[in-house]
Amino acid sequence: MKAPAVRLSSGRKLPLIALGTAGIPYHSQQIQTSISLALKIGYRHFDTAKIYGSEPAIGKALNEAFDEGIVKREEVFVTSKLWCSDHHDPGAALKRTLHNLKLEYLDLYLVHWPVRFKEGVCYAVPKEDDFERLDMEQTWHAMEKCVELGLCHSIGISNFSSKKIEDLLSHASIPPAVNQVELHPLWRQHKLREFCAERKIHLSAYSPLGGPGSPWGSKAVIKNPTIVSIAHKHQRTPAQIALRWALESGVSVVAKSFNEERMQENWGVSDWVLDAEDHCKINDLSQMKFMRGDFLVNNTTSPYKTIEELWDGEI
Ligand SMILES: NC(=O)c1ccc[n+]([C@@H]2O[C@H](COP(=O)([O-])OP(=O)(O)OC[C@H]3O[C@@H](n4cnc5c(N)ncnc54)[C@H](OP(=O)(O)O)[C@@H]3O)[C@@H](O)[C@H]2O)c1
């Protein structure tokens, strides 16, 4: 099956089903094997970030596939992200990412969080004195420069609220093509979906299964009785219902699996549909957010003193 895709405001096409590669911590060979397997299944979009440590293994697997003629570079879409300690020089950070991936360009480069750390802070959970003031105008200008230099085709953001996007749009020459955020049947992001759709910013769902098995996630989505009953009705799995619901909500999905059966399962969500009743039932589920970002909030050095400030009330 060909990967379904959406055209971004940048003019580029983004494959709607991506393979996530975050997790703690995977052996490089395991990532490489999973990427090769994913390519065979049909995946053409790979999501990584400097902080995941998966860039080199993805690069090895992709370059092997290019050399063996399995796919061409222009047939795959690679997303990576600017880590919070690299806002002082996004161009240099992107060049390091490209070096890790052994690629000449990225398809999509995202600002990982609307937060800036001191240079060299290469861990996910910052200490209190690791924060610096974020000048998003300066960061975005440097991201735009990356497009001009041909280092990436599209630029975007991740974990940005409607308010933060509005601020960004007030000075951006190139608008963000994508906002990657947590989104699943229990965290539906209705307001952000409408806001982004009106501004032609494509919304991409991370943790679309709720991250079962990951340290920040939960099994609440795939164990939810409503999701389970919809799955029985369609003779699908709960994970497939979550992914199908996101796709039908106009959102692309970044689901992580390094297990062949589950990679196949997550890939198999393009040739069947949910009905209006399923959507109504999902829209009635109580909401819960798993990636709350508490680690980015403190009373002293973080620009965000509360969780509400980090998400501008969208929590
Ligand atoms: N921008 C950001 O700030 C941000 C934050 C978080 C994540 N992300 C990206 O989004 C990707 C996905 O998010 P995530 O890893 O948090 O959550 P997720 O994709 O919702 O869930 C991944 C977990 O679910 C398991 N799984 C996968 N398919 C399954 C299925 N069909 N049935 C049951 N369990 C299944 C996986 O284990 P197995 O591998 O054993 O199958 C893994 O433990 C990440 O890998 C990363 O690329 C971005």
Q: How far is the C-alpha of 311 from the C-alpha of 115, rounded, in Å?
A: 12
**Ligand 1 site: residues with CB under 6 angstroms?**
20-22, 47, 112, 158-159, 180, 206-214, 217, 222, 237, 239, 254-259, 262, 265-266, 291
Q: What are phi and psi of 303, to 5 degrees?
A: -65, -15
Which of 52, 109, 206, 304 does the annotation list as catalytic?
52
Q: How far is the C-alpha of 229 from the C-alpha of 249, rounded, in Å?
A: 20
β-strand 131-132 against 116-117: which pairing, if any? antiparallel
Q: How far is the C-alpha of 158 from the C-alpha of 195, rounded, in Å?
A: 15
Locus of tokens 């890939």: 267
Domains of the chain: 5-310 (3.20.20.100)
Residue 124 is predicted with a pLDDT of 84
Residue 190, annotated as binding a ligand: no
Query: Which of ligand 1's atoms lies nearest the C-alpha of 217?
Result: 16
Q: What are phi and psi of 259, to 5 degrees?
A: -110, 125
Q: How far is the C-alpha of 1 from the C-alpha of 132, rounded, in Å?
A: 46
Active site residue 26: no
Q: Which two tokens stand for residue 4?
A: 């379904």
pLDDT by 10s per residue, the chain, length 315: 667 899 999 999 999 999 999 986 778 999 999 999 999 999 999 999 999 999 999 999 999 999 999 999 999 999 999 999 999 999 999 999 999 999 999 999 999 999 999 999 988 889 989 999 999 999 999 999 999 999 999 999 999 999 999 999 999 999 999 999 999 999 999 999 999 999 999 999 999 999 998 888 999 999 999 999 999 999 999 999 999 999 999 999 999 999 999 999 999 999 999 999 999 999 999 999 999 999 999 998 899 999 999 999 999
Residue 1 is predicted with a pLDDT of 66
Residue 298, Cβ density class (10 Å: 0-12 exposed, 13-18 middle, ≥19 buried): middle
Q: Under DSSP, is residue 299 helix (H, G, I), strand (E, B) or coil?
A: coil
Residue 173 is predicted with a pLDDT of 98
Closest CA to ligand 1's atom 32: 239
